[in-house]
Every structure is written in structure tokens, then in C-alpha cells.
Amino acid sequence: MAGVGSVVGAEVVVVDAPVVVFAVGDEWGRLLPSQRVRVVGRMGAAEAGELKAGVLVVRGPPVVVGGPSGVQDLAGVLRAGLREACDVLPQGARGLLPGLVVGDVSRLDAQVKDDFAAAGLSHLNAVSGANLAVVAGAVVLMGRFVGLPLAARGVLAVVAMGGFAVVARPSPSVLRALVMGTVAAIALGSGRSRDGMAALSGTVLLLILFNPGLAREYGFALSVAATGGILVLAPRWRDRMAVRMPVWAAEAIAVPAAAQAAVTPVLVLMSGELGLAAIPANLLAGPAVAPATILGFLAALIAPVSMELAQLVVRPAGFCAGWIITVAEWAAGLPMATVAWPAGVFGLGLLAVLSAAAWMVLRRQGGRRLTIALAGGSLIAVLIVGPATSTWPARGWLLVMCDVGQGDALVLSAGEGKAVVVDAGPEPRQVDRCLRRLGVHTVPLLVLTHPHADHVGGLTGVLRNRRVGAVVVSPSRVPQRESTRVSAELRSKRIPEWVVRPGTRWQFGSTEITVLAPSTETPIQGQGEGSMTNNASIVLVVRWPAGSALLAGDLETEAETALLRHGVPRVDILKVPHHKLSITHQEKDLWLGSPSAWSRVTGRRLDRTSPGAQ
């Protein structure tokens, strides 16, 4: 934010430098660039070394006192039109396409965002310089098709890029691409040769002179590094590979590989990770970016005139966005899609040493052959030997406990591609990934044992791209926030929400599930915070021909004692409430089966005294 006026007592202070604003409320998301607002808040000094005038902590919503300009108002209409047109698309594409085309990520699914980060596709979450280049290229080709002269094509490209930058709002990468594209368009219009590195260097110099703060932004550094890699490395790699493959295939591989190689040092400094899945993911997703961008931007232009036509145009763009999401899901699910690496200068130095060593090995024919042999052997070991010795999931699996951190997410097999899910963990990503690895696409029954965030927070991860028959919830709805959120989500998906009594029974293939508790009586109050909700957890007994299990939710001592008074069947496996540090005497009475039964159900050996028993 620039040009901020601050009133201190009777004194008015005007600054013409960025001010960081911390605020809460949906009203801020609806503001447009160039709007003037009045707020009440507390102004503080910026941290030493920051290129900012200060930090403003705002109290309450903004009061609009002027603007926006006509251009920004039109840009807002176009963004809103594209958002409405995307309502006809599936959920994932509905959120991704506006972000890909005009930088509107307000409806971007959190799971899609996580998958893109793991797959090295985060630059597609929002509009970037690549999208601007696609629009400019399409306009130049159209001008050439209709026979416009070079000068007219250059002017048309500048106008298209400027309009796109206004609609998409200028991020650092868009600014870099806009200035660089303008330089290239001037060269095109004058008929002079174009030097990509000279244009990039001039662009970086001009932008940093105009806004020195860009020199400290990772987004700008990543954009410049990727462009430099494509300009310097990609042509050489393409020419070398073109000796043994078609030119188009060599270029398709060289461009994402060069961009990833160039940005890797910046990523190491920024996050301490190496993205091994990024190159194949970008290679597969790349062909869908251009048509999605062009068709999406065309839909945004048409929407204010005809929403029906815009929705017709946006459908094929949605297919492209859906393909990109599929690639991201696949890449994020690969083993070692991202590898931890030391962050900071040490990690950068280690990367430089290993890169130099790899170059020394690969520059010789013998080294290349040895590397190919080792890589081929490793690939065979992973793809053939590994699955032959230890498959996941195990054939005939019955019960899986997903790794979701604090909280629970248990999966009970209900047939091929089907499973009953008990709890959803604290957030969507882990439970969705677990269900994907298990091949679950249908959930006939979802049981949410009690409405605490670490058991229901991942609800959208279970619902994502899956058919869910019904959801069973606890009769105790004490934490109103979580209960209300769950109910609203289920209503929006038109999924029935059930409260059931003890004795209710379901049969899914060889899996039989019976409800033991709670009754509809007033839940038992315990000593700790949230104990009433914990004591109202849904308790299930699960039986298979191979054994049985008791899933006790988060019961506390008071509810366990009451459950024992009503009688508990003998079981082989006990899912102990995670609030317990050790198994109590009551819980020992619940688990009376033999260790061999655990082995039959899970394929693992377990002793009563082992930590796994708890």
C-alpha cells in the first residue's frame, strides 16, 4: 500500500512508501486496486532493514471513501465474470482456473494447493509471466493470420499484455514479464533482432530501480531464475537431445528441466527442499497451460456480455485445468516427490559441490553409462523387486490407521475401492492422500466420533472426489463452531447426517460394524477441558472373520467406566483414546484377544507389551 495518510493526534503524516496492513474480514478481499479506504488502527515501525514505511494493525472493516478507477472497475467485473462462469466446472477446476488465468485464488482448494507445492507446480496456482507470454503470443499469431504488419503486431501485443496485467493484478513475475515482453514487442515492431538475455537484464534493472523491494522477494527471484534458465540452458540441452529424438520432444523436456535447474538454488535457500517430481510434473502439465489460459481469458472477456457463451467457452478450459490437477495429484503421491535438504548457505554450498561432481561424472561417456546403469537398476528394484516383496496396501487389508498426526483417521475395508472411514484427522491433505493410496473412491459410511478439530478438520479431504453415502455424528454437539462447520459442509454436498443409537449395525462385505455408545442421554462431565465431548464419542465394535476391534474414539475414564458397566464384548484390537499416556486397568479389560489375532488382521506381529499395543 502506498500513499498512506496517518492521523496522530492533530498531526497528519503522509507517506509514499509501502505499508504492511494486518486486517481480518471478508470485506478486504472485495476491495479493488485504486480504491481509497479509511480505517482505524495502530501504526508501528517496520523492522530494521525493511523497505517499508511501517506496519498498520487495523481494527474493524475498511470504509470505502473513493474509487476504484474505471479501468480497475472493469478488471473487477471481468474477474467476477470468470469466477461465475467457472461455476459449471468441477470443484478443483472451478478454483484453479481463475487463479491460473487472472490470479483469483479465492476458491482454490487447499488440497490442490498442497499437491501443487509437492509436485513443483506452485507457479501455476496463480497467474505468472508464462500466462502473459501465452496471451501475447496468441495475439501476435492472430495479427499475423489477419495480415497485420510487424509494427501493428507489436503494438497489439503491448496492449494485450498491459490489459492482461491489469486484470490479473501485477505480481512480481507479471511485472517482469510485462516489461520484458514490451521490450521484445518493440524489437518485433522495429524488425530488429531480439536478444533474450539482454531483454531480461534490462527488465530486471528497470524493475529494481522502480521498486527496490523486488530484490528481496523470492517470487521475483524465482521468476527471473526460471526465465534465465530457459534462455541459457534450454537451447543447449535441446540441441544435444535432438540428435537422438525429435526436436519437439527434446524441447518439451529441455524447457522444464532448465527452468527447474535454474530455480533449485533459490528453492534451497527459501525452503530447504529439492523437488524430484517437478520436472516430469511440469512436462506433463505444460501442454494444458496455454489452452487453459487462452480459453479462460476469452471467457472472462465474454462473460459481461453473455454468461451462457462464457460458460460454453470455459468448459474445455476446465478439462485442461482438470488434467493439471490430475498430474499434480499423481506427482504429489510419488515416493520422495520432495526431498529435505539443508537450507541456507550451507545447503546451497552442498548443492554446488554435488552439482560439480555430477558434471564431472556425466561429461564423460563412461560416467554417463555408469549413471544410466545405476539409475536403471534402482528403477527395477523399486518397480519390480519392491512390490514383489512388500506391497502397499497389503492384499486383503481390513483396517488401516492413516498417519494424520494428532487425532484419528481409520479406514475399514468395505470392498474393492470402498471403505468405511472413522474420523478424518485434523486437516484434509493427509487423510485424502491416505485414501488415494488405498484406492478408495467410495465411502458408504463416514463416522465422526466427536466434533473436535483433530477428528473432523479433515472432512473435506474425505469428501474430495469421492461418493459418500452418509455421515454418522455424535449426539453431543458441544463445540458449536466445529459442529456447525461440519453440518454446513454436509448440507452443501447433500450428504445425510445421522445420529444413531447403541445397537445400530451395518454390514459391508466381510466387515460388520456395531455401535456401542453413546446413548442419547446427557454426556458425562469429566475433569479436563472438552471432556464432555470426548465422553460422548461414538464407540464401535468391528468384526471380521479374522478377528475384531474396538474403536473407542476419545473416551475418558468416566465414560469408559460407564461402558464397562453396560458390558463390552471381547476384542482382539483396541484403539486407545489418544489422550491416554498409558493403558488403564479398564482398557486392559477391554482388550482380551490374543496377539495372533492382531497378526491375522493386520499382517503384523504384536506383543501385549509392545508400544504398538497402545
Q: How far is CA 493 from CA 32, 182, 325, 464, 487, in A?
A: 32, 47, 21, 10, 10
Most confident region among 183-187, 256-260, 348-352, 409-413 by mean pLDDT? 409-413
Provide the domain count of the chain: 4
Is there a domain that residue 130 lies in? no
Contacts 24+ apart (CB under 8 A), 80-83: 81/299, 81/300, 81/302, 81/303, 81/304, 81/307, 81/310, 82/296, 82/299, 82/300, 82/303, 82/310, 82/314, 83/107
Determine the residue type at 44.
G
CATH of the domain at 462: 3.60.15.10
Q: Domain check: are 367 and 405 in the same one?
A: no
| Alpha carbon of residue 292 to chain centroid | 19
Residue 295 and residue 316 in contact, taking contact as beta carbons nearer than 8 Å? yes
Q: Are strands 338-340 and 399-401 parallel, antiparallel or unpaired?
A: unpaired
Percent of the chain past pLDDT 70, that is, above it, reads: 84
Residue 410: the pLDDT is: 94
Is there a domain that residue 105 lies in? no
Q: Are strands 547-551 and 539-544 parallel, antiparallel or unpaired?
A: antiparallel
Given its phi and psi angles, is residue 90 left (phi above 0), alpha (psi -120 to 50 degrees) or beta?
A: beta
Residue 587 — pLDDT band, cuts 50, 70, 90? very low
**The 3-state secondary structure of 189-234, one letter per residue:** HHCCCCCHHHHHHHHHHHHHHHCHHHHHCHHHHHHHHHHHHHHHHH
Range from 12-26, 74-88, 128-142, 539-553 carrying the lowest mean pLDDT: 128-142
Range from 44-53, 262-271, 393-402, 599-608 carrying the lowest mean pLDDT: 599-608
Bridge partners for 512 per DSSP: 507, 543
Residue 429 has pLDDT above 90, yes or no: no
Q: Which of 276, 308, 325 is the last residue of a domain?
A: 276
Question: Cell triple for residue 329?
Answer: 495429484
Element (H, E) at 57: strand 54-66
pTM surpassing 0.85? Answer: no
Residue 239 has pLDDT above 80, yes or no: yes
Q: Domain check: are 369 and 517 in the same one?
A: no
Residue 431 and residue 422 in contact, taking contact as beta carbons nearer than 8 Å? no
Q: Domain check: are 556 and 472 in the same one?
A: yes
Q: Domain check: are 577 and 602 in the same one?
A: yes
Distance CA 491, CA 318 (A): 25
Residue 5 — pLDDT band, cuts 50, 70, 90? low
Distance CA 123, CA 223 (A): 9
Bridge partners for 539 per DSSP: 517
Which is nearest to 534 in space by CA: 573, 478, 613, 583?
Answer: 478
Q: Domain check: are 478 and 583 in the same one?
A: yes
Is there a domain that residue 51 lies in? yes
Which DSSP state fits 579?
Answer: T
Is there a domain that residue 64 lies in? yes
State whether the Cα torsion 321-323-328-333 is positive or negative.
positive
Question: Cell triple for residue 102?
Answer: 487472472
Q: Domain check: are 490 and 537 in the same one?
A: yes
Question: Cell triple for residue 516?
Answer: 456401542
Q: Domain check: are 563 and 480 in the same one?
A: yes
Residue 488: the pLDDT is: 87
The whole domain housing 604 covers: 400-613
Residue 474 has pLDDT above 80, yes or no: yes
Most confident region among 415-424, 531-540, 575-584 by mean pLDDT? 415-424
Residue 583 — pLDDT band, cuts 50, 70, 90? very low
Q: Domain check: are 271 and 381 in the same one?
A: no
Is there a domain that residue 296 lies in? no
Residue 582 has pLDDT above 50, yes or no: no
Is there a domain that residue 548 lies in? yes
Q: How far is CA 409 from CA 374, 430, 446, in A?
A: 39, 9, 10
Q: Which of 241, 257, 276 is the last residue of a domain?
A: 276
Is there a domain that residue 420 lies in? yes
Residue 312 has pLDDT above 60, yes or no: yes
Q: Domain check: are 523 and 581 in the same one?
A: yes
The better pLDDT of the pair 159, 337 is held by 159
Q: Domain check: are 538 and 517 in the same one?
A: yes
Give me the mean pLDDT over the 200-208 stretch. 83
Q: Domain check: are 422 and 549 in the same one?
A: yes
Residue 409 has pLDDT above 60, yes or no: yes
Residue 268 has pLDDT above 90, yes or no: no
Is there a domain that residue 142 lies in? no
Residue 600 — pLDDT band, cuts 50, 70, 90? very low
Q: Which of 365, 389, 413 is the last residue of a domain?
A: 389
Residue 382: the pLDDT is: 60
Residue 358: the pLDDT is: 77
Question: Cell triple for residue 256?
Answer: 522444464
Q: Domain check: are 429 and 366 in the same one?
A: no
Q: How far is CA 194 from CA 184, 186, 333, 343, 553, in A?
A: 6, 9, 41, 37, 66
Question: Cell triple for residue 511?
Answer: 466387515
